[in-house]
Amino acid sequence: MIILSAKNLTKSFGKKIALSNVNVEIPRGRIIGLLGPNGSGKSTFLKLATGLLVPTEGEITIDGAIPGVETKAKTSYLAERTYLNGWMRAEDIIAFFEDFYEDFNRIKAENMLKELNINPSDRLKTMSKGTKEKVQLILIMSRSAELYLLDEPIGGVDPAARDYILNTIITNYKENASVIISTHLIADIEQVLDDIVFISKGEITMTSTVDEIREKYNKSVDGLFREVFKC
Amino acid sequence: MLGKLFKHEVKATGRTFLPMYGALLILTIFTKLALTIGAPDFFTDDIATGPVAEVILGITFTLYVIFITALCVMTFVVIIQRFYKNLFTDEGYLMFSLPVKTWELILSKLLVGLMWSVVCCLMLVISIFILSLGSFSMMEVVQDINMAYTDFYTQFGMSLNIILFELFLCMLVSAISSILLIYASIAIGQLFNQHRVLASFGAYIVITIVLQIIVSIILVAVPLLANLDILFSGIDGIKAAQWLINGTTLINLVLCVIFYFCTQYIMEKHLNLE
């Protein structure tokens, strides 16, 4: 069962080509690392899957449909930046998510806030950048979506919270759902990944399971990444 | 989903407007008090106030006028800012990943913007009504209005309501078209890779100038090409006014459609959040 499929997917911004002729199929029930150096097209790929960008050529489909209302209802996208309104309280934004996403679980969100000692009645603008990122991730993971698209989910948070977040990710998704995590902090997330997709300069250079890499190259994903993308 | 978008939009904008309306009411009552105490005969022909009362009245009135101006400007600014900030800055990442249609995003913003514009006008009317309380009798006003209706009917052979309705429609449609022009300009600005706000201003100015030129050409060309004397012979002044009002409504309606689809097209096909 394929949840996401890209065929000849190309996206250019003016003359700059961000993604070039990408073909990839992501099955259900996997955690996939979308790994590549800065500016390799990771964010562009996730934005195309979410429907924040429209392909220049080719197509991308989520569960067989091109991005639209239907796919947005079953994909949970974590943007690379904090997009929450400063004036809102955590509880306001929970109400917002509850209104728009049918698969949003309020109890789950409130429990996670409690576990991370975040007060639901605090305004977002009084929170630190890391805390805001945590709130955002909690919201995203409190949905029971079919596809999670996480753009740099652990970039701004401390290592202790990182473990909690990764744990949240792997324990919170349904069996037939998939999680795509884009990051360059590979060592931190390697333990949770099933598959990896290496992306460089807008092209996919390798897709593999993590087990295969360990067998074939006798290396960790992090080690292989450093070798492949050596400057 | 439109209803939910509308609800959250009202929530997000209401926290700016409601305190302002509250402040307006308080300021109105304060000004009214100053008027009643300082210049009880303000609305009569011979005003006689002392210098102190004059200064206090001057200050309260200046404050009042400044506040009303600020309220109108703010209504306008919030309409623009909500569309730009909520959809095309970081917040756009959230709004565009919601399972809603693009037209619902545009329409919710437009409706709420219109709603606040109408509420703003109502608040001004209420405020001025409070200020002028005691200076007229309700009976006289009602009588005057009735008289106006009768006069109008005897003179033109039609109800004043028709003209008033057409005027209202004209104002409503032109308000919508000016909001949609701003939306379209903001959307056009998004087509640029940098200096997007500047590009939006540029788009706004260019579109306004082009429209001005087109209107001027029409105004010059129509009387030249068509013999208006024939067209308007036998048509009285009120009919000509109706032509003008409804013509303006129609043109603005066409512009609304163009601006709307331009905005929607860019948001659907060329969205590129920074």
Interface contact B98-A53, CB threshold 8 A: no
The whole model's pTM is what?
A: 0.89
pLDDT in tens, A33-92: 999 888 899 999 999 999 999 999 999 999 999 999 999 999 999 998 888 888 899 999
Predicted confidence band of residue B238 (pLDDT cuts 50, 70, 90): confident
With an 8 Å Cβ cutoff, are B93 and A79 in contact? yes
Confidence of residue B274 (pLDDT cuts 50, 70, 90): confident
pLDDT over 90 (residue A186): no
A56-66 tens-digit pLDDT: 999 999 999 99
Model confidence at A151, pLDDT cuts 50, 70, 90, reads: very high
Under a CB-based contact definition with an 8 Å cutoff, are residues B151 and B163 in contact?
A: no
* A18 close to A180: Cβ distance less than 8 angstroms: no
What was the pLDDT predicted at B40?
66
Question: Chain B interface residues facing chain A, Cβ-Cβ under 8 Å?
Answer: 1, 4, 7-8, 12, 15, 90-94, 96-101, 193, 268-273
- Is the model more confident about B179 or about A184? B179
Closest residue of A to B15, CA-based?
Answer: A87
Return the pLDDT at B231: 61
Q: Does A85 lie at the interface with B, CB-CB under 8 angstroms?
A: yes
The pLDDT score that the predictor gives to residue A130 is 84
Distances (CA, A) of A201 to A15, A139, A229, B198, B217: 14, 31, 11, 31, 52
- The answer to whether residue A56 neighbours chain B at the CB level (below 8 Å) is no
A203-209 and A195-200 beta bridge pairing: antiparallel
DSSP 8-state symbol, B168: H
Please list every residue in chain B whose beta carbon sits closer than 8 Å to the beta carbon of residue A51.
Answer: 96-97
CA distance B253 to chain A (A): 29
Reported ipTM:
0.91
Distance between B5 CA and the closest CA of chain A, angstroms: 9
Say yes or no to pLDDT of B29 above 70.
yes
CA–CA separation, A109 vs A136, rounded Å? 10
Structure letter (DSSP) for residue A191? G
Q: What are the backbone dihedrals phi and psi of residue A208, each rounded to the nearest 5 degrees, phi first?
A: -165, 165
- pLDDT score for B215: 87
Torsion sign across C-alpha atoms B166, B168, B172, B178: positive
Phi, psi angle pair for A41, to nearest 5°:
110, 10
Q: Look at residue B42 in the predicted model and tell me its pLDDT.
A: 63
Q: Is the pLDDT of residue A5 over 80?
A: yes
Q: What is the mean pLDDT of chain B?
A: 88
* Helix, strand and coil percent figures for chain A, each rounded to 5: 40, 30, 35
Residue range A118-129: average pLDDT? 90
Sign of the dihedral defined by the CA atoms of residues B21, B24, B26, B32, in that order: negative
Strands in chain A per DSSP E:
2-13, 16-27, 31-35, 57-62, 75-78, 147-151, 178-183, 195-200, 203-209
Q: Chain B: give the shortest CA distance to residue A84, in Å.
A: 6
Whether residue A8 contacts residue A56, with contact meaning beta carbons closer than 8 Å, is answered with: no
Do residues A152 and A9 touch, judged by C-beta distance below 8 A?
no
> Do the Cβ atoms of B217 and B209 come closer than 8 Å?
no
